[in-house]
């Protein structure tokens, strides 16, 4: 995505608004237009960052990243790497049983997720629960985990 057309459009709008005034207003508008260019680019990147964070928080897996090519950002979906389950230690052998009652819709969604990953429902549940417990039960990205700024290469 190129930000330049959006910034130039904003600058053109400012110049059109200033055209209704006298020469002093026109000169002030030209100065303001030049100054607005850099600021508008950073504000657009801030808006894209917020959009990427919001989208990422709604995805069941993976996240959205903003990657810069020069001064042009690209939104990319990044799939979370699938980790192969570690073989259970002797003391962690699968011997405990529990009964779990689920709403039918959730059961169908779990079965579909296990099928997509090519594992049994039991393996999928064990891995998902282990991941949730080891990460502190969170796993959800929010504004507190945001990195903002502008970088150049």
- What is the pTM for the complete model shown? 0.44
Q: What is the pLDDT of residues 97-140, one digit of tens each?
A: 788 888 888 888 888 888 888 888 888 888 888 888 876 544 44
Q: What is the pLDDT of residues 94-105, one digit of tens each?
A: 677 788 888 888
Answer for the pair 41, 71: CB distance below 8 angstroms, yes or no. yes
Query: Cβ atoms within 10 A of the Cβ of 124, count?
Result: 19
Torsion angle defined by CA atoms of residues 98, 100, 85 and 92, in that order, rounded to the nearest 10 degrees = -10
Assigned architecture for domain 82-138: Orthogonal Bundle (1.10)
């Amino acid at each position: 995505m190129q930000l330049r057309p959006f910034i130039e459009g904003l600058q053109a709008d400012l110049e059109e608004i200033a055209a209704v005034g006298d020469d002093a207003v026109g000169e002030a508008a030209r100065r303001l237009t030049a100054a607005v260019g850099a600021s508008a680019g950073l504000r657009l990147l801030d808006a894209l960052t917020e959009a990427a964070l919001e989208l990422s928080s709604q995805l069941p897996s993976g996240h959205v990243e903003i990657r810069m090519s020069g001064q042009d950002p690209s939104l990319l979906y990044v799939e979370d790497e699938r980790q192969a389950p570690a073989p259970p230690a002797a003391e962690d052998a699968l011997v405990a049983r529990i009964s779990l009652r689920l709403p039918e819709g959730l059961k169908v969604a779990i079965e579909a997720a296990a099928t997509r990953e090519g594992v049994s429902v039991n393996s999928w549940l064990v891995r998902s629960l282990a991941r949730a417990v080891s990460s502190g039960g969170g796993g959800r990205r929010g504004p507190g985990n945001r990195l903002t700024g502008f970088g150049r290469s």
